């Protein structure tokens, strides 16, 4: 990162107003960033009649990257338009275990690359009659190829042997058939090895032997479900970061929700948001800073302090301060 980057900051609702400031404290310790603070979510909707004000959409559209917290009931009305605004065609969700954190499957270390614009999340629903409603599943060759290109770049740049495609083309023969064929074609052209698995069978295999997977490429809904399953293997959603990546901009957010049951208590685990900030740094080209942040988070998870969800008694601010203290030259 050779010049000052502009980052839009959207805390959202609930614990977003606690974990996002914690992540900003860490970012400030390692990078020179100009922030644009904007709001979205349930509280904004109650005050202004819309969960996504125009100035928020504009700020996210123009910033180099966005750090996003979490929203409540209005989540789909906020994050989906924001992803569209930055042309976010892939959702990157790493899931790995950390020292000091109990995990169902301690050997888990994988990344899910999820198509982010199509499938059943394209918003094409209709109520035809009182008895009948429909949902149209959208899959295009162009979006499938774009995801495949990203996946090939990802495995090559991260020294992976290849990736596994999760799909259900034995049932959704036309839509998933197009998706899988396109991914296969792109991988073959790039010389990248590809395995395949039906998404339902993969759910079982992931739970029993996650070490069998490294990078998983899948359509939108499958990626949503499988990544949450992976979260359960490593200790919960509170540890998982994510990136919504476009060709020029990205939105970085923890996978967990706004947790209204603990909002305002100052005990939310900021780890996922800080790790999302590390992905943001990497996206901006600050690889060394991103590595330093991840190392500091891992050391804090291993040695404490820890928030109550991990068996500790520390506050959100105390964990953030411990991460900062473990950064180089602090």
Tens place of pLDDT for every residue, the chain, 330 residues? 657 899 999 999 999 999 999 999 999 999 999 999 999 999 999 999 999 999 999 999 999 999 999 999 999 899 989 999 999 999 999 999 998 899 999 999 999 999 999 998 888 999 999 999 999 999 999 999 999 999 999 999 999 989 999 999 999 999 999 999 999 999 999 999 999 999 999 999 999 999 999 999 999 999 999 999 999 999 888 899 999 999 899 999 999 999 999 999 999 999 999 999 999 999 999 999 999 999 999 999 999 999 999 999 999 999 999 999 999 975
126 counts as catalytic: no
For residue 328, report the phi and psi dihedrals to the nearest 5 degrees: -60, 145
Give me the residues paired with residue 135 across strands: 125
- Six-digit token pair at 117? 């614009």
Per-residue pLDDT, 81: 93
* Catalytic residue selected from 77, 84, 228, 317: 228
Per-residue pLDDT, 2: 55
* Catalytic residue selected from 176, 224, 292, 309: 224
* Catalytic residue selected from 64, 98, 168, 292: 168
pTM for this predicted structure? 0.93
Among 95, 85, 124, CA closest to 216 = 95
121 counts as catalytic: yes
Q: What b/e sequence results for 259-274 when a residue is b if at least 16 CB atoms lie within 10 Å of its CB, and e otherwise?
A: beebbeeebbbbbbbb
Per-residue pLDDT, 299: 97
228 counts as catalytic: yes
* Catalytic residue selected from 200, 209, 288, 325: 200
The DSSP annotation for 305-321 comes to ---GGGT----HHHHHH
Dihedral sign, Cα of residue 100, residue 104, residue 109, residue 111: negative
109 counts as catalytic: no
* Catalytic residue selected from 42, 64, 98, 121: 121
- Name the DSSP letter for residue 52: S
159 counts as catalytic: no
């Amino acid at each position: 990162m050779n010049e000052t980057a502009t980052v839009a900051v959207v805390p959202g609702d609930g614990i977003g107003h606690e974990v996002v400031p914690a992540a900003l404290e860490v970012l400030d310790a390692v990078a020179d960033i100009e922030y644009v603070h904007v709001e979205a979510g349930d509280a904004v909707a109650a005050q202004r009649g819309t969960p996504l004000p125009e100035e928020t959409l504009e700020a996210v559209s123009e910033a180099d990257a966005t750090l996003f917290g979490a929203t409540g009931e209005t989540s789909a009305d906020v994050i989906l338009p924001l992803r569209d605004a930055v042309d976010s065609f892939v959702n990157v969700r790493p899931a790995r275990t950390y020292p000091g954190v109990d995990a169902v499957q301690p050997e888990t270390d994988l990344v899910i690359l999820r198509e982010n614009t199509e499938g059943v999340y394209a918003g094409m629903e209709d109520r035809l009659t009182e008895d009948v409603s429909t949902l149209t599943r959208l899959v295009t060759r162009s979006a499938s190829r774009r995801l495949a290109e990203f996946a090939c770049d990802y495995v090559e740049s991260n020294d992976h042997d290849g990736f596994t495609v999760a799909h259900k083309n034995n049932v959704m023969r036309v839509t998933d058939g197009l998706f899988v064929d396109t991914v296969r074609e792109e991988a073959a052209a790039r010389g990248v090895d590809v395995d395949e698995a039906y998404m339902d069978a993969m759910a079982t295999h992931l739970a029993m032997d996650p070490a069998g997977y490294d990078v998983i490429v899948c359509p939108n809904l499958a990626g949503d479900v499988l990544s949450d399953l992976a979260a359960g293997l490593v200790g919960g959603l509170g540890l998982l970061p994510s990136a919504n990546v476009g060709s020029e901009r990205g939105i970085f957010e923890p996978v967990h929700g706004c947790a209204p049951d603990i909002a305002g208590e100052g005990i939310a685990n900021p780890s996922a948001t800080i790790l999302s900030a590390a992905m943001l740094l990497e996206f901006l080209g600050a690889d060394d800073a991103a590595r330093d942040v991840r190392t500091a988070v891992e050391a804090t998870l291993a040695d404490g302090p820890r928030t109550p969800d991990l068996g500790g008694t520390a506050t959100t601010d105390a964990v953030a301060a411990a991460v900062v203290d473990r950064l180089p030259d602090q």
